[in-house]
Chains A and B, each alone.
Chain A
């Protein structure tokens, strides 16, 4: 052991008990203290990898010792952190329950210094030994797996180099096979594939073309089309490869050989039964061969060959889905579509050494996981370093950065974030915490949590906008977060990281821009488009309801004269005056717009009759302005229980206005059926 003392976490609600234990152990260990379960969870969350042992009381407020053990089981911390229970409770049931939940030892009160020291030390040493053993084991497995993969790769590359290919094909097929299988087991358990099976099939995929070694190289590397005879010879690589494997003496029962045989022989079969060499159909073709066949086709399409350029991933997938290259089970086609995006990035970053190494690391990781051993020291150090970096970036970041943890539920804010929100850095059970819900309304926060849980490991990012109350001000904020999913076969939601961005100014600017875009700059009334949008919305919302509307359209009879005689500035003044009169004689629920030039429209809902209103408006509008006599031609279309659209209503008002203009001007008229012949449509 080096100079740095190992850390021990003491969880007890009595300060005196913690002090007593700490006093006994401080000479040999670094002590962290927590006074209840939730605090302990928080410390574990942050220092999980540094804590060598935990002393845990049972009876505590907020979250008791048994609950702590349950969560540690859920998070699998119990596998790496030995827990010794401490309590005055000596009842057998208590002890049994603690042991069942994974506690490794039990110290009862009153504490005896020798007992405490001895128990802690021996359990600590035991764990250290166990860790050393598992590291030893993991490096041995690593070496063995490395040799294995290396042998398979050398073998497969010999085939590829002879084939004039880069050798990346084997790696690609390996990766695609693995991704397809991982997707497949999420969709169905029909094939009963374990993690071990997936690894085996992915490894064996490298052997799919070994039979090509027996094909003459003139045929193998022929740039043009094969003659029928040549094609027959080429097809033999399936049977030849399988034979090479089955001829290996004494090894027929090795699972690698068995799966390799299936892949070699049947990776050119088709789901519809029209493949070779045996014409197997549907799920008579072993799943290993089906998957490798698909991986082989996808990589062949997306790679350059002597006889063809590379297709883009999207085109390749389309071709496969259309059945242009082979025939596959519908389920596998779904899997391929699902992983299409990740395939692009995954295959792009692939190069030789790195890919192999990744594969081996994954393998070792998986093996260790299934054997229940711990992560190696090396990865712990890496994690530590990453966390230090993360913490530093968080400290200097001006943004409100948060971490959401699902079980136990809490929110952790960056220091500056907490400061600018005016709330503490740690919020336990945020949905029920008043400090938090005052800032982030409970239903909004629950909406956010529901949304983030709906994300998937493939697509974990969420961006939502909420009206938050920050230091008593209501502000629109964008909450951007990435969900954290576990990396098991069925990933579980663990929490999220994200940031809160104040978009209030942005939002206000957008609103004012929207308003500007909707308004006519001369008069401040709506422009025609904006009015049409609003009126159409009202019409379609109230379809079938017994409502009455009037659409009024009018223009100035002598606007040209105003411009010609008094000048354009006066003309503008007339328009502005008219807008003022319109605003003064309508209600806020009415919609008034300038369509352009001297044409205006007015839309209103009315109860019994609209004529008095129209009369009053007409009178207001036609008051003289300065020396100018204002004359207006006005057409009104009234509808009741209307189920037509805006444009129809518009042409009716237009026809009524046209009638006024044709007859005597400076008057108003309501649309009636006699004007039907005047209806003109814009088209």
Chain B
């Protein structure tokens, strides 16, 4: 599978990322890092223990990474969760659905990336 096909599969913007990062090689290198990144686990853990500032930072990091790699779909759900968590001190009912959405997008994205290996 080419990088371009992978991007189409996971709902990401290949043209945009190529214009910024310049080569397929570099894009692949960092995509693989996304699959290994611990931020998602940190997010799950922080939400479980209701550590809101930590959860915000983890969501924020995922959002930043997606932005850099133009992972459009995952970026959108990460952004919604990040904004819901910004400045939050209490856990609320609005968070689980946003998290579930992010989780689904994250899994499909990582699965897509793994197919590049």
Q: Give residues in A with beta carbon < 8 Å to B.
A: 13-17, 19-20, 23, 59-61, 87-88, 109-113
Contact = CB atoms under 8 A, between A and B. Distances in A.
Given A61-B57, A113-B22, 18 more contacts: A13-B57, A14-B61, A14-B64, A14-B65, A16-B30, A17-B61, A19-B33, A20-B21, A23-B26, A23-B29, A61-B54, A88-B63, A109-B68, A110-B67, A110-B68, A112-B19, A112-B20, A113-B20
Interface string B5-41: 0000000000011011110001001100110010100
Contacts of B37: 14-16
Contacts of A17: 61, 64-65, 68
Nearest to A86: B64
Given A61-B57, A88-B64, A110-B70, A16 B34 contact: yes
Contacts of B67: 88, 109-110
Contacts of A15: 33, 37
Q: Which of the listed residues A16, A17, A23 has the most CB atoms from chain B within 10 Å of its own CB?
A: A16
A178 B104 CA distance: 73
A110 B64 CA distance: 7
Interface of B: 16-17, 19-22, 26, 29-30, 33-34, 37, 39, 54, 57, 60-61, 63-65, 67-70
A16 B20 contact: no
A59 B19 CA distance: 26
Contact of A20 (B30, B54, B57): B30
A88 B60 contact: yes
Contacts of B63: 88
Nearest to A64: B57
A496 B84 CA distance: 45
Contacts of B29: 23
A23 B68 CA distance: 13
B54 A109 contact: no
5 contacts: A14-B37, A15-B33, A16-B33, A23-B30, A109-B68
Contacts of A23: 26, 29-30
A113 B16 CA distance: 12
Give the secondary structure class of B's interface: helix
Contacts of A19: 30, 33
Contacts of B20: 110-113
A58 to B, nearest CB: 10
B79 to A, nearest CB: 9
Given A14-B39, A61-B54, A109 B64 contact: yes
A97 to B, nearest CB: 16
B14 to A, nearest CB: 13
Nearest to B21: A113
A15 B65 CA distance: 10
Contacts of B34: 16
A274 B68 CA distance: 81
Nearest to B60: A59
Nearest to B70: A110
B68 A111 contact: yes
Nearest to B33: A16
A87 B64 CA distance: 8
A17 B62 CA distance: 10
Nearest to A61: B57
A23 to B, nearest CB: 6
Give the one of A17, A19, A110 with max B CB within 10 A.
Answer: A110
Contacts of A13: 57, 61
A19 B30 CA distance: 8
Nearest to B23: A113
A14 B64 CA distance: 9
Contacts of A109: 64, 67-68
Nearest to B53: A61
The 5 lowest CB-CB distance pairs between A and B, nearest first, are A112-B20, A110-B67, A109-B67, A110-B68, A14-B61
Nearest to B63: A88
A111 B67 CA distance: 8
B80 to A, nearest CB: 14
Contacts of A59: 57, 60
A20 B31 CA distance: 11
Contacts of B21: 20, 111, 113
B103 to A, nearest CB: 19
A110 B29 CA distance: 16
A20 B68 contact: yes
Contacts of B57: 13, 59-61
Nearest to B71: A110
Nearest to A115: B20
B66 to A, nearest CB: 9
B113 to A, nearest CB: 13
B36 to A, nearest CB: 9
Nearest to A109: B67
Contacts of B54: 61
A139 B34 CA distance: 52
B7 to A, nearest CB: 14
A109 B39 CA distance: 18
Nearest to A19: B33
Contacts of B17: 110
Contacts of A61: 54, 57
A88 B63 CA distance: 8
Contacts of B68: 16-17, 20, 109-111
A423 to B, nearest CB: 27
A107 to B, nearest CB: 12
Contacts of A113: 20-22
Contacts of B26: 23
A87 B82 CA distance: 14
